[in-house]
A and B are shown apart, each in its own frame.
Chain A
């Protein structure tokens, strides 16, 4: 799947990065908790979020994310978009809620970022 495919699936509006829609998308992550995003996500992941504060952009910068999807039609303020542009992020917004956006993308084959859990390790040890 490419970012462009996501735009079609989510009937999304492209706020930034119209020229990068052919970028491939491998996994997705949906969270308003930047702490969790920082803990588990890698650069090949698309972030779907309802948060529109500057730390979403900063978090994306630290992780080298390529694309941000704002749910529920949210559009970040101009200064936030400016800093996203400086980083070359693709930013899109969809009318769908975060839950629905995830469902629509999952239905078309996109999967979540693999997250190693402590209890997986425990399970293996116990087995």
Chain B
């Protein structure tokens, strides 16, 4: 099925000032398509979390938005460093965020579990030295 919207947002490592811009734009685009309420908020929260993760933890990457008539898909892909222990990373409260991220109110170890909670489908693949790919799907209506 062809996507109604396909957008690629580059996300730079440690760019705390711009962090959230992609998610704000994603939310705006979905709103304009008439997506609202619970789904819109879940997509917004998950996209903000994954965007912050790219800023805080990755060496750079991109966040892709694909909107189909019946679903929204978010894909985050980075160039490293990869997550050595995924089950630990998925645990609430586990975090390797630095002081800067923590001083802004992040790095509480809620990001990945929160993405999983908000998305209807969640998949994470990671390889140390290569990078991490997170795919999230959200059903519309």
Number of residues in B with C-beta < 8 Å to the partner? 24
Is there an interface contact between A35 and B106, defined as CB atoms closer than 8 Å?
yes
A39 neighbours in B (Cβ, 8 Å):
110, 113-114, 117
Are A33 and B24 CB-contacts (below 8 A) given A38-B49, A63-B45?
Answer: no
Interface membership of chain B positions 29-54, coded 1 if the CB is closer than 8 angstroms to chain A and 0 otherwise: 00000000000010011011100000
* Among B24, B41, B105, B117, contact of A63 (Cβ-Cβ < 8 Å): B41
Is there an interface contact between A33 and B44, defined as CB atoms closer than 8 Å?
no
* Among A36, A42, A53, A62, contact of B48 (Cβ-Cβ < 8 Å): A62
* Among A42, A55, A63, contact of B20 (Cβ-Cβ < 8 Å): A55
Determine if A118 is an interface residue (Cβ-Cβ < 8 Å). Answer: yes
Is there an interface contact between A62 and B104, defined as CB atoms closer than 8 Å?
no
Using CB atoms, name the residue of chain B closest to A83.
B24
A58 neighbours in B (Cβ, 8 Å):
19-20, 23-24, 48
Are A51 and B105 CB-contacts (below 8 A) given A39-B114, A63-B41, A64-B41?
Answer: yes
Determine if A56 is an interface residue (Cβ-Cβ < 8 Å). Answer: yes
* A76 → B minimal CB distance (Å): 13
Is there an interface contact between B41 and A34, defined as CB atoms closer than 8 Å?
no
A44 to B24 CA separation, bound complex (whole angstroms): 20
> How many pairs, one residue from A and one from B, have CB atoms within 8 Å of each other in the complex?
66
Interface membership of chain A positions 17-58, coded 1 if the CB is closer than 8 angstroms to chain B and 0 otherwise: 000000000000000111111110011000000010111101
B108 neighbours in A (Cβ, 8 Å):
33, 35-36
Is there an interface contact between A32 and B105, defined as CB atoms closer than 8 Å?
yes
Is there an interface contact between B27 and A61, defined as CB atoms closer than 8 Å?
yes
A37 to B92 CA separation, bound complex (whole angstroms): 14
A4 to B111 CA separation, bound complex (whole angstroms): 34
* B88 → A minimal CB distance (Å): 16
Determine if A59 is an interface residue (Cβ-Cβ < 8 Å). Answer: yes
Q: A35-B111, A62-B48 are in contact. List 13 more A-B contacts (CB 8 A).
A: A33-B105, A33-B110, A42-B41, A43-B41, A54-B17, A55-B20, A55-B105, A56-B105, A58-B20, A58-B24, A61-B20, A63-B44, A118-B92
Residue contacts A-B, CB under 8 angstroms, 21 given: A32-B105, A33-B105, A33-B106, A35-B106, A35-B107, A35-B109, A38-B45, A38-B114, A39-B114, A39-B117, A42-B41, A55-B20, A55-B106, A58-B19, A58-B24, A59-B48, A61-B20, A61-B27, A61-B44, A63-B41, A118-B92
Task: Sort A-B residue pairs by CB-CB distance and give the 3 closest, nearest first.
Answer: A34-B105, A35-B108, A58-B20
